Amino acid sequence: MKELQQRVKDQGIDDLEVRPYLCFGACQEGPNVVLYPEKSWYAGVKKGDLDDIMGHLAGGPNVTRLDTIDGSLKELIYQLLDTGVF
């Protein structure tokens, strides 16, 4: 997470906050990176994946190889995030 935070800072992205969150129930497939409100969920993220994730944040394509989380879990968590209180 520190690496991701540093890259965001280095690239001067000021409308993005990188922070730990509540347990989303997918720790066995972690580390997980959830981009919200965009609603992209990347699982099993390694340092080597950060270039692609940063590329996505800069407007590049989705990193489909990391999009492995069950759709129903994603939907549940996105709905919780949509309540706006977390």
Partner 1 sequence: MQGILFPRGVVEGRENLQAYRARGGYEALAQALKGFSPGQILQEIADSGLRGRGGAGFPTGKKWAFTAESTETPHYMVLNGGEDEPGSKKDRLLMENLPHLVLEGLILASYAVKASKAYLYINAIYEEATRSMSDALAEAKAAGYWGEKINAGGDFSLEILLSPAPANYVAGEDTAALEVIEGKQPLPRQKPPFPATAGLFGKPTAVNNVETLANVAPIIAHGAKWYRSFGTAESPGTMIFSMNEEVHRPGVYELPFGTPLRYLIEDCGGGVKSGNRIKAIQPGGPSSAYLPGEKIDIPLDHNSVRQAGSAIGCGVVHPITTESCIVEETLRIAEFFSVESCGQCPACRMETNMLAAMLKKVQQGQGGQPILDQFAKVIAFNKGKGFCNLVNMPGPPIESALRLFRADFDSHLANGRCPQG
Interface residues toward partner 1, by CB under 8 A: 22-28, 72-73, 76, 79-80, 82-86
Measured from the CB atom, is 3 or 36 closer to partner 1? 36
Question: How far, CA to CA in Å, does 76 sit from each of 1, 2, 11, 69, 72?
Answer: 23, 27, 32, 12, 6
H or E segment and range at residue 25:
none
CB of 70 to partner 1, least distance (A): 10
Measured from the CB atom, is 12 or 84 closer to partner 1? 84
CB of 58 to partner 1, least distance (A): 31
Asked whether the beta carbons of 38 and 65 are under 8 A apart, the reply is no
CB of 66 to partner 1, least distance (A): 18
Measured from the CB atom, is 64 or 79 closer to partner 1? 79
Spatial CA neighbour of 26 closest among 82, 67, 61: 67
